[in-house]
A and B are shown apart, each in its own frame.
Chain A
Amino acid sequence: MVKMVVCIKQVPMVSELPWDQATGTLQRDLAEGMMNPACRAALEAALRIREAQGGRITAITMGPPMAEEILREAIALGADRGILLTDRRMAGADTSVTSYTLARAIEKTCAGFDLILCGFSTSDSETAQVGPQLAEELDVPGVGYVDEIVVSGRTVRMQRLSDNFLETLEMSLPGLITVTTEGALPRYVSLGGLQEAFSQARIETFDAEALGLDPARIGMQASPTKILSVASPTAGKKNIVLTGTPKRIVEQLIERFDDKIGGAIGKDLKADKKQS
């Protein structure tokens, strides 16, 4: 019986999201939300652990009231409980403050947990920081970027791909794991599961007061990270015609693109040139 907490996040469904052509930013107000793919993988990992070992799964998210959607979806997929942390004062939190908020909420609502599972990263901000910071906040060991998990007794054995090496790690519980999307394919939600998740399940909702949070440590004003701007990277294309004798063309090619050509053939052309 493994007591698990799965931290999930609602992210914008980028495939359905219009870009503002003028500013190069996502039009977030038009966004449909979805469960972050890596969080879905973390939930799948939890469901498989429960199928093998028995256990109880609590899905928890921090976000606007609309984030209730992904908690209901998590329950439809098999989670036993859904906890929503929502409060306007929590809005704009960076990863550090998010980890603080989640940690206090988990201590309050899921005391005695064995294993916390997070997605390794979210598709909207890609920092991959909340999982490791949450382990620090809760003062439990944590392992990131895990593909496979097996729990036996009070020990969890994990596999992850690291610099093309397959690492096998062991950790004693309680602990925290961040899960990649390379493991078991997440299951689809059943329609009867959705119907029940909406008609019968109760979502437990907490605000800052209910969690007993220090108002000075939550939300945007407490966050050390400030986002100055968000823009889409533009990949430009340019045609360049090199002219001259074949020898001159090759020289120009090396002058302009030595780093790219060298990278492709695994040589430092500049260093080679100096030596010669």
Chain B
Amino acid sequence: MDFNPCMKHKVVRKAVRMFAEAELGPIAHDIDRDARFPWEVVEKMQPLQFFGLQAPKEYGGAELDSISYAITIEEISRVSAAVGLCLTVHNSVGIYPIERFGTEEQKRRFLPAMTRGERIGAFCLTEANAGSDAGGVETIAVRAGGDYVINGTKIFVTNGGVCGTSLIFAVTDPQNPQRSAGVFIVERDTPGFTVGEIEDLCGMRANPVSSLFLEECRVPETNLLGRPGDGLRIGLVTLDTGRLGIAAQALGLAQAAFEDAVRYSKERQQFKKPISSFQTIQNYLADMATEINAARLLLYRACAVKDSGKPFGAEAAMAKLSCSATAMRVTNLAVQIHGGYGYSKEYDVERYFRDAKVTEIYEGTSEVQRMVIARAVLAQRT
């Protein structure tokens, strides 16, 4: 067991950090304030293969291992969690399901434009009456000749406002949603596909989260991923992978908040001393550092299990549960250490604090993660 990062992982971290600090650092605050998606940075990310992090080289991907992938998302999110969110959703629940479950024809048709970043991916499960309960999906896909005609409304779609290729979770038989669920690849220019208003959210404001409407949206049957009825299985595997990315995103947020808190505690003077000299602040910093390290180890281990080809659902859930809880606690303490300034938009910790909350909600709430973990624990022989 080697706990030291290998040379590649160190270089990946430095390379991504250099890019993120130079290109996203100067605008991270403004794009949050203005709820603006930074296309100008996306254009710089495209040739560097940020949009094909783990996809095979033959489809234009970088073929990174999962720990390098996590480090990349962590480092981008350390500077802008909203851009980190765009990347992780695009890579792990946009590209990955097509790469894993798609036919050769589907991979050739959809992946190159996605890995080039020309078509940003989105995964659309959540509806007004479905989210944690995937069986509650009401979007319906009806077979018509060689096509499927899809009708329904998806909500809270990450990347919704900018997506080029969406994976739509729909059922073919509303009487039997569990067994008839399917994942359909729908491109933005398909007639009947429209993007709703951008949501006005607490955090991750530079990511255009929106509703998507499908009205008589007709796609060829070759746009169905896997076999009819495979939807639930594809959804579950996809979410396991997605959780590693969200864990990495939460970890990057926690790291950013921690670094700001350490720096501020050394600068801020009270009672004629830097506040870092007070034991209470030291205790906060010690707890933050410990939790971040523990969460990071869980995440990298889950990534290593995934790359070894073994089932990693419980590990991914643990990593996501731990990293998001850490992000929440660490950003909260970082605001506390900054005092009144931490509550001001003048300081980044205010943004980190707002951004952190949703990591406990999306890609499976913390309650769902516990459900997944408990199921794995109880399945083991005692």
Contact = CB atoms under 8 A, between A and B. Distances in A.
Interface of A: 13, 32, 34, 66, 68-69, 72-73, 188-192, 194-195, 198
Nearest to A66: B7
Nearest to A65: B7
B72 interface: yes
Contacts of A191: 12, 15-16, 48-50, 53, 62, 64, 68, 72
Label chain A's interface by main secondary structure.
helix
A66 B49 CA distance: 26
22 contacts: A34-B14, A66-B7, A68-B7, A69-B10, A72-B11, A73-B11, A188-B19, A189-B15, A189-B48, A190-B48, A191-B15, A191-B62, A191-B68, A192-B49, A192-B63, A194-B11, A194-B12, A194-B15, A194-B62, A195-B8, A195-B68, A198-B11
B18 A69 contact: no
Interface of B: 7-8, 10-12, 14-16, 18-19, 44, 47-50, 52-53, 57, 61-64, 68, 72
A190 B19 contact: no
A195 B72 CA distance: 13
Contacts of B72: 191
B63 A195 contact: yes
- Residue in B15, B19, B44, B63 with the greatest tally of chain A CB atoms within 10 Å: B15
Nearest to A77: B15
A13 B63 CA distance: 28
A190 B49 contact: yes
Given A68-B7, A72-B7, A194-B8, A188 B15 contact: yes
Contacts of B8: 72, 194-195, 198
A192 B61 contact: yes
A72 B61 CA distance: 19
Contacts, number: 55
Nearest to B45: A188
A195 B7 contact: no
Given A195-B62, A195-B63, A195-B64, A190 B47 contact: yes
A113 to B, nearest CB: 27
Contacts of A32: 10, 14
A69 B48 CA distance: 19
A195 B61 CA distance: 10
A234 to B, nearest CB: 19
Ranked nearest first, the 4 interchain pairs of A and B with the lowest CB-CB distance are A192-B62, A191-B62, A198-B8, A192-B49
A153 B48 CA distance: 32
A192 B15 contact: no
Nearest to B51: A191
Contact of A192 (B10, B16, B57): B57
Contacts of A189: 15, 48
Contacts of B48: 188-191
Contact of B7 (A13, A190, A192, A198): A198
A190 B18 CA distance: 12
Given A190-B49, A191-B53, A69 B11 contact: yes
Given A69-B7, A69-B10, A72-B7, A192 B52 contact: yes
A198 B53 CA distance: 15
Nearest to B10: A69
Contacts of B52: 192
Given A72-B7, A73-B11, A191-B12, 13 more contacts: A32-B10, A72-B11, A73-B15, A191-B49, A191-B53, A191-B62, A192-B61, A194-B11, A194-B12, A195-B8, A195-B64, A195-B68, A198-B11
A175 to B, nearest CB: 31
B326 to A, nearest CB: 22
Contacts of A73: 11, 15
Given A195-B63, A195-B64, A195-B68, A188 B18 contact: yes
A69 B6 CA distance: 10
B259 to A, nearest CB: 11
A34 B49 CA distance: 22
A90 B12 CA distance: 29
B116 to A, nearest CB: 12
B372 to A, nearest CB: 30
Contacts of A68: 7
Contacts of A194: 8, 11-12, 15, 62
Contacts of B47: 190
A195 B47 CA distance: 15
A260 B63 CA distance: 60
A18 to B, nearest CB: 12
A62 to B, nearest CB: 18
Contacts of A192: 49, 52, 57, 61-63
